[in-house]
Every structure is written in C-alpha cells, then in structure tokens.
Amino acid sequence: MKIDVKAFAKLNISLDVVSRMADGYHEMLMVMQSVDLCDDVSVTVEAGDGIAVSTSLRYLPADMRNIAAKAAGAFLARAGIRGRHVSIAIKKRIPVCAGLGGGSADGAAVLRALNALLDTRLTVRELEEIGAEVGSDVPFCVRCGTALATGRGNVLEDLPPLPDCAFVIVKPQFAVSTPELFSRLDCAKIRNRPDTAGLVDALRAGNLAGIAHRMYNVFEDALPRGREEIDAIRGELLDNHALGAIMTGTGSAVFGLFDSYESAHGAWKTLSGRRECFAARAVGKYEV
Ligand code: C5P
C-alpha cells in the first residue's frame, strides 16, 4: 500500500519569544501560515518491521534521526501497530535549515499518510499530539492554515485565513542553526517585539496592509551573521512591491507578502536570476 502526500512549508507572519522555560525550551507567540511550497512524500506500508527513509538530498539523515522516521515511529507506537514495515521517500523542495519547517512538514505528512493508509481514523488533534512528541512545529504542520501558536509552538488556535495574497520566499546563501539562535537569545533583552494582538486584529478585519505592517520576527535581531543579506533581500522584496518582508522562524529564509499572485510572480521573476526564490500561495486548514 502506497500513498503520496504533500508536505507544506510554514511561514511565521510574526514571531515572538516570550520566555525561557525551566526545561530549556522557549515559550513562543507566533502567527503561522502554511504555503504551497512543498516536499513530495511517498509512504509505503508492507508486512514486516522497521522504518526506512530516503530523501533527494544526500546529506540529510536517512535513519531515525530524520523527523519523518521519528514521526512514523511515534505514530505506530501510539496506534499500537506492529508487524508493519514503513518506507518513506521524500523529494525535497523546501530549502533546509531555512526556518520554513521543512523537516516538520515531512513529519506531519507522514502522520497524515499513515493515518490514511492504515485506516486508523485518528483525529487531526490526535495527529497533532503525536507530532508534538517529535518536534515543536510538527503540530502546526499537521493542521496547516493560519494559526496563533503558543507554548513551545505546539499550542494552536485557529485564526481566520489571510485575505487574498501571495508570497515570495528567498533563501539566502547562509544557513542558521535553530538551537544556536535560541541559545543566543536573551528574552529579557529583546528590545523590539511584534504587536501580535494588533496583527490578530488586522487578520480578523481582513486588513492585509495592517497585517503587513505588523510582520516582525525577534530572531532577526539575534542573528550571529548574515543580517546584511537579510536586510538586502528585504529591500529587494519591498522594491518589487512587497507590502512587508521579514525572516521566517530562525531563518535564514526571508519572505515578502504581496497583494496578489501576479504581483508576487513579478517579483519572483526579477529576483530569481540572482537568488534562490519561490512564489507561493497560502494553504488552508487540513481536514481529514
Ligand atoms: O522542538 P524541536 O526539536 O523542533 O526544537 C529544536 C530546538 O529548538 C530545541 O532543541 C531547542 O533548542 C529549540 N527550541 C526552543 N524552544 C522552542 C522550540 C525549539 O528552545 N519553543
């Protein structure tokens, strides 16, 4: 039995780090959006044992360190399933170490795929709970759509979809280590924070300009290097009619918000000659 599913990237429309918790993780406050930039994930289940994973990028782990394999293991354990061999093949399109949740998206796609293949009929909420065991962003990548994320990033509240808009996502040359960036952040010293309440109000009002105006990511101010490139990309996106542009997650990818796909595509055409970039649309909430 085999199924093909899409693993959608996520963007942080805003990202705030509220505090460092006793377990070393950080309490987050983020507005998240899934987009149609995606990896293709094929999952096959046969009689047998074990979990195998392969990806189109040779340098990614092809063993239980891969979040997709971890998700499969957590799913089988939770559903109490034995005597099944799971093989996962991932065609990567989402840039890695970019703050786009690529690994989390692959894990979430595996959870959805196994739920369908094995006819286990777990709810989206149950899949999110399993996802939280393997990574903080996995629950959002299961749910998709537009959401306010708190806790480690795993506590989700649906928000209304963004008004009509599109994105251009640009991947700088340098990559960022998520744990390193978290460790550099001193929550008490964060000077500028996003107006998350104002952003949520703008979303509820369907006010795209108001949303763009409030996009902000506190990690931009904590980058150990590469800030100039982030600012240069932001400038290029704004020069090409983005309403706002920020880094997503712990970076290094930067995205611009546009008022139409045509406008985003125009910017993509201009930038794509010299930068790795993608035009993308918003993806709505996942329903089983
Ligand atoms: O949960 P996940 O495995 O994706 O997190 C990767 C790393 O990011 C953690 O080991 C931790 O260093 C950091 N992190 C954090 N606070 C969060 C989420 C992640 O400190 N809320």
CA 18 to chain centre: 19
Domain boundary among 158, 177, 208: 158
Q: Which residues' Cβ are closer than 6 Å to ligand 1?
A: 25-26, 28, 135-137, 152-153, 178-179, 182
Burial of 125 (0-12, 13-18, 19+ CB in 10 A): exposed
**Residue 18, pLDDT above cutoff 80:** yes
Q: What angle do CA 186, 192, 193 make, to 5 degrees?
A: 90
- The pick from 10, 29, 178, 186 for probing ligand 1's pocket by mutation, whose C-beta has the most ligand atoms within 8 angstroms, reads 178
pLDDT of amino acid 277 = 97
Range 190-214 average pLDDT = 97
Which distant-in-sequence residues (6+ apart) come within 8 Å of 204 by Cβ?
Answer: 159, 160
Arithmetic mean of pLDDT over the chain: 96
Q: Which domain holds residue 114?
A: 2-158
Judge if 153 and 170 occupy the same domain: no
Is 212 inside a domain boundary? yes
Q: What are phi and psi of 213, to 5 degrees?
A: -60, -30
Judge if 63 and 152 occupy the same domain: yes
Residue bearing the CA closest to ligand 1, atom 11: 179
Report the domain count for the chain.
2
Judge if 54 and 174 occupy the same domain: no
Domain boundary among 105, 130, 158: 158
pLDDT digits (tens, 9 = 90+) for 54-83: 999 999 999 999 999 999 999 999 999 999
DSSP 95: P
Is 118 inside a domain boundary? yes
Burial code of 243-252, b = ≥16 C-beta within 10 A, e = fewer?
bbbbbbbbbb
The token pair that represents 259 in the structure block? 């008022």
Kind of pairing, strands 166-171 and 26-47? unpaired
The token pair that represents 146 in the structure block? 């537009």
Judge if 130 and 225 occupy the same domain: no
What is the 227 CA–ligand 1 centroid distance (Å)?
22
Is 44 inside a domain boundary? yes
* Category of 270 on φ-ψ map: left (φ > 0), alpha (ψ -120 to 50) or beta: alpha
What is the 25 CA–ligand 1 centroid distance (Å)?
6
Domain boundary among 140, 158, 176: 158
**Active-site amino acid positions:** 10, 137
Measured from the Cα of 250, ligand 1's closest atom is 8
Judge if 181 and 126 occupy the same domain: no
Measured from the Cα of 67, ligand 1's closest atom is 3
Is 287 inside a domain boundary? no
Range 220-224 average pLDDT = 93
Q: Taking the model in full, what pTM does it have?
A: 0.96
The token pair that represents 91 in the structure block? 């065609």
Judge if 48 and 120 occupy the same domain: yes
- The pick from 182, 185, 186, 187 for probing ligand 1's pocket by mutation, whose C-beta has the most ligand atoms within 8 angstroms, reads 182
Judge if 185 and 78 occupy the same domain: no
Judge if 173 and 115 occupy the same domain: no
What is the 194 CA–ligand 1 centroid distance (Å)?
20
What is the 1 CA–ligand 1 centroid distance (Å)?
34
Number of helices (H), then strands (E), in the chain: 9, 12
Task: End-to-end CA distance of the chain: give it in Å, rounded.
Answer: 19
pLDDT digits (tens, 9 = 90+) for 104-154: 999 999 999 999 999 999 999 999 999 999 999 999 999 999 999 999 999
Q: Please answer whether residues 35 and 55 qualify as being in contact, where contact means their C-beta atoms are separated by less than 8 angstroms.
A: no
Judge if 175 and 99 occupy the same domain: no
Is 107 inside a domain boundary? yes
